[in-house]
Amino acid sequence: MPYELVLLKNIHDPRVKEIDRYIELGGYKTAERVVKEITPKDVIETTKATGLRGRGGAGFPTGLKWSFVPKDTGKPVYLCCNADESEPGTCKDRVIIERDPHQLIEGIIIAAYAVDCHLAFIYIRGEFSLGYRILDKALQEAHRRGFLGRKIFGSAYDLEIILHSGAGAYICGEETGLIESLEGKRGHPRQKPPFPAVQGLYGCPTVVNNVETLANLPHIFNRGVEWFKSIGSNEKNTGPKLYCVSGQVNKPAVVERELGIPLMELINDVCGGVRNGNKLKGIIPGGSSVPILRPEECDVRMDFDSLAAKGTLLGSCGVIVIDETACMVRLALRTARFYAEETCGQCTQCREGTWWMEQVLHRIEYGHGKPEDLRMILDMCSNMKGVTICVLSDACAMPVEAMINKYREEFEYHIMEKRCMVSAHAHA
């Protein structure tokens, strides 16, 4: 039975970016009904019942996150849409922003209403200049129609949405780094607790949700809990999911399928298999920060729990396919270099560890490695995990550690032979 598109159903309609076309297709009717006919508490309970988990990487239950917002504090509640899509290999939120922006705005209205928020923010990645312009126009259209502003849809509920462009820092994809940046400060993640739901933006209760998470809400309240739960691999992994498939694959694409599609079905049946008929070497399932899977480990469903059982993560769903022509030492070096450049520098283990790891991998890659280097890098990795304010340090350590443990012979060949095993075999 073919999969029915939900989130990407209208992205090939060039007019859907315009509010008239979006309304023609039934847009904003669901948000209007929610605001006029459903209580905020029931919106939260319905979202809980669907099992919707955050699509930004952590996979935390969305309705449960909303329920943590305290009531009657006397402070305003803020909602922040995290559109700072920075994870290498990930490009799903960008598709929603650029192709179907009103779907996102409608989702924000529903989420904001649920938590009694009257001022919401969209924090968009600085490099997404096209997406910024499209969203800005869409917000103006919604405002003119009375879908934003005072007494939206003719109800008693007020909501404003502010679009804010970041400066392209990876760390601002972390929710407290995003909040610090919104406040006009450096994007330095905060110690937790307190969690943003209790003390977030401007010291007030704050909910941070990802673009894809919010885009699910109009469909949930249009088609119901049981419909949403009927999609997915099990009761803990429900709903549609966007997968960003890139790397050495024949048909790289942003693909929508159920949460929990088998990984090799996604690669072979949907994306045409490994490029040029080459042999599969490994797959990174959730963006550059998660451990790689060897070919024999790739018989796995693409959901939060199945991948965790394999020692990796669904993360941001940036699926990177790697074939036999790729050098693991070079991949490890490029990974460490990225995180060394993106660390905010607050924590010693991250600031010094990412830089040091890059230096050691650089010397291995360029023929100056020492036999003790691999043990030293693995020691670095163990000392960088679970000890910092945010998980950027872990995001560098986990993938590099997995590459060394799973492809150790390549690293040893670089050290002993002073050249690349892959290129040596290619020229043999």
How would you write 139-167 as a 3-class SS string?
A: HHHHHHCCCCECCHHHCCCCEEEEEEECC
Contacts of 390 (CB under 8 A, 6+ apart): 171, 174, 176, 177, 189
Question: Does 58 score more than 90 pLDDT?
Answer: no
In this prediction, residues 276-300 reach a mean pLDDT of: 97
* pLDDT on residue 57: 83
Kindly provide the b/e burial profile for residues 369-400, where b requires at least 16 CB atoms within 10 angstroms of the residue's own CB.
beeebbeebbebbeebbeebbbbbbbbbbbbb
Question: Does 428 score more than 70 pLDDT?
Answer: no
CA distance 426 to 407: 17
Domain with CATH 3.10.20.600 in the chain: 234-323
Q: Is 399:292 a contact under the CB 8 Å cutoff?
A: yes
CA distance 58 to 305: 12
* pLDDT on residue 182: 97
In this prediction, residues 116-132 reach a mean pLDDT of: 97
CA distance 354 to 338: 9
Question: Does 426 score more than 70 pLDDT?
Answer: no
Contacts of 218 (CB under 8 A, 6+ apart): 27, 30, 31, 103, 106, 107, 110
Domain with CATH 1.20.1440.230 in the chain: 328-426
**Under DSSP, is residue 60 helix (H, G, I), strand (E, B) or coil?**
coil
Strand ranges across the sheet with 280-284: 253-258, 240-247, 318-323, 280-284
Kindly provide the b/e burial profile for residues 36-69, where b requires at least 16 CB atoms within 10 angstroms of the residue's own CB.
eebebeebbbbbbebbbbbbbbbbebbbebbbeb
pLDDT tens per residue, range 217-228:
999 999 999 999
For 46, the token pair is 């319905």
pLDDT tens per residue, range 341-399:
999 999 999 999 999 999 999 999 999 999 999 999 999 999 999 999 999 999 999 99
What end-to-end distance do the CA atoms of the chain give, in Å? Answer: 47
Closest alpha carbon to 230 in 264, 259, 254: 259
* pLDDT on residue 168: 85
Q: Is 321:267 a contact under the CB 8 Å cutoff?
A: yes
Q: Backbone phi, then psi, for 427, in 5-degree steps?
A: -100, 5
In this prediction, residues 7-32 reach a mean pLDDT of: 97
Peptide bond just before 291 cis, omega within 30 deg:
no
To the nearest 10°, the Cα dihedral for 387, 388, 389, 391?
Answer: -100
CA distance 164 to 125: 9
For 4, the token pair is 């029915």
Assign domain 234-323 to a CATH class: alpha beta
Peptide bond just before 240 cis, omega within 30 deg:
no
* The residue to which tokens 């249009």 are assigned: 222
Question: Does 199 score more than 70 pLDDT?
Answer: yes
In this prediction, residues 254-282 reach a mean pLDDT of: 97
- pTM of the prediction? 0.94
In this prediction, residues 281-305 reach a mean pLDDT of: 97
Question: Does 427 score more than 70 pLDDT?
Answer: no
* pLDDT on residue 7: 97
State the pLDDT confidence band at 2, using cuts at 50, 70 and 90: confident
Q: Is 331:351 a contact under the CB 8 Å cutoff?
A: no
State the pLDDT confidence band at 422, using cuts at 50, 70 and 90: confident
Percent of all residues in the chain with a pLDDT value above 70, rounded to a whole number: 99
In this prediction, residues 91-96 reach a mean pLDDT of: 96
Query: Which CATH number, 3.30.390.50, 3.30.750.24, 3.40.50.880, 3.40.50.11540, labels domain 14-229?
Result: 3.40.50.11540
* pLDDT on residue 83: 97
* pLDDT on residue 31: 98
Ramachandran region, residue 62 (left: φ > 0; alpha: ψ -120 to 50; beta: rest): alpha
Question: Does 425 score more than 90 pLDDT?
Answer: no
* The residue to which tokens 């899977």 are assigned: 293
CA distance 114 to 43: 6
* pLDDT on residue 278: 96
Which residues, listed in sequence order, are joined to residue 201 by a DSSP beta bridge? none
Taking the domain 328-426, which CATH number applies? 1.20.1440.230
For 62, the token pair is 């969305």
* pLDDT on residue 183: 96
